[in-house]
Amino acid sequence: MKPTVAPFPATRLRRMRKSPAMRALARQNTLTSDDLIWPIFVMDGKDDETPVASMPGVVRRTVDRVAIAAKEAQDLGIPAICIFPYTGMDARTEDCAMAWDPDNLTNQAIRAIKDAAPDIAVMTDIALDPYNINGHDGYVENGEIVNDRTVEALVKMGLAQAEAGADILGPSDMMDGRIGAIRAALEAEGHQNVCILSYAAKYASSFYGPFRDAVGASSALTGDKNTYQMDPANSDEALRLIERDLMEGADMVMVKPGMPYLDICRRVKDSFGVPTYAYQVSGEYAMLQAASQNGWLDGEKVMLESLLSFKRAGCDGILTYFAPAVARLLQD
């Protein structure tokens, strides 16, 4: 589309910016609570929460407190909540069996949320890292993160989450072929209405640091995730991954991290026109919160501006730790 601009003074682009009313009429993108998916951290115990030091304002909650938070989120009009378990070394084994245990923290939290807040959609994370002795998303054999054996485990993990009542499964592991395998298993087991939001374009990013503290993975991880997560230098590969996952049965796709990868969001939306999400990850959240705590940035304004940038880039929604704060602000 070529914009039509008559020469000055016939065109004065400032005319459309002269008042709040004119700016409202001209506004192309808006942020609403409908755009939010809230990632939350669940831990063992009862009626308790602990702060995540590197993510000011974020806590880990016990299952009962997660249920209360979900109810609050539902009342704020947040459509979905995404569960991440905090696991100590005691939950981590070579075979990662806790990943598909019907009573693991995630599956307990799914059931508790469904009881307390039946209208909020529950999203999960599928990857072996919370339960893996070495912190990787897949099994490690002779130093290699093996693909196909990992996919078999991911299918079991996804099915257990669907059984517990999850609405949206989020495979974040970046193994090849897992979307097709999970989709086939869901169909075979009577879970045809469970959605898959594929972490299709997940980069091997340094912005995940605070998240690894939040889930207890920082000390467990050996080496890096470069053989399965994407090289930050690549862009075309993201489109291949998105297309592949859509062909295998993903309903929604994600780009992650968010702000440093808005170019990818735009390419994905323009190329496929499918429900597209971005994850404003822990490091992005920590940066904005740290600057605002120091008085260097206006916290509320940069929160809103950063989230609006995802809408402008074509995203249909954003996973963000700011979800309750922004929903509260938009309500006022």
Ligand X SMILES: NCC(=O)CCC(=O)O
Q: Binding mask 91-120 vs ligand X (x if CB under 6 A, - otherwise)?
A: ------------------------------
- Rounded-to-integer distance, Cα 69 and Cα 327, Å: 13
261 binds ligand X (CB under 6 A): no
Residue closer to ligand X, measured from CB, 22 or 53: 53
> For ligand X, which residue of 100, 208, 228, 310 counts as binding (CB under 6 A)?
208
**DSSP string of 52-80, one letter each residue:** -TTSTT-EEEEHHHHHHHHHHHHHTT--E
CB 318 within 8 A of CB 310: yes
Annotated catalytic residue 71: no
> For ligand X, which residue of 100, 139, 203, 211 counts as binding (CB under 6 A)?
211
**DSSP string of 81-127, one letter each residue:** EEEEE---GGG-BSS-GGGG-TTSHHHHHHHHHHHH-TTSEEE--B-
Exposure string (b/e) for 237-246, b if CB count within 10 Å is 16 or more? ebbebbbbbb
Q: Which of 4, 1, 211, 50 is nearest to 125 (CA)?
A: 211
Least separation, in Å, of the C-beta of 233 and ligand X?
Answer: 20
Annotated catalytic residue 202: yes
Q: Which is the catalytic residue, given 114, 202, 225, 311?
A: 202
Least separation, in Å, of the C-beta of 293 and ligand X?
Answer: 19
**DSSP helix/strand/coil, 202:** strand
Q: Binding mask 268-287 vs ligand X (x if CB under 6 A, - otherwise)?
A: -------------xxx----
With contacts defined by CB under 6 A, how many residues of the chain interact with ligand X?
Answer: 7
Q: Binding mask 118-147 vs ligand X (x if CB under 6 A, - otherwise)?
A: -------x----------------------
Catalytic center residues: 202, 256
| Residue ranges that bind ligand X, judged by CB under 6 A | 125, 172, 208, 211, 281-283
